[in-house]
Amino acid sequence: MPGLAEPITGSIPESMFKSLFGSDNPWAVILFNDEDHTFDDVAGQLQKAIGCSRDEGYAFAHTVDTEGQATVYKGDLDACERIASVLEEIQLKVKLEVQ
């Protein structure tokens, strides 16, 4: 009986990742609800991350609070990674997703 192949482990090199998913493909930053941050925290960090107004930040925070999550930005992979990094500075829970 032939042996099973060894599983491939490790991470995908960034160049291969970008060739598979491309930075031109539309990506989204999804922000998730948590019980640790206030509306002020979320709105302020969204202002910093995506350049929205305070009112727009509160609108996103309200959506996250009522629906459990919200898409707060769509764009290329590099921009989404930068935005997610800023949101994660205060331990907001985010996910990047191919659209």
Q: Tell me, what's the pLDDT at 24? A: 61
Report the C-alpha gap between 12 and 5 in whole angstroms: 19
User: What is the value of pTM for the model shown?
Assistant: 0.76
Average pLDDT value for the chain: 86
CA atoms within 13 A on the CB side of 41: 16
Q: Tell me, what's the pLDDT at 18? A: 56
How much of the chain, in percent, has pLDDT values that exceed 70?
75
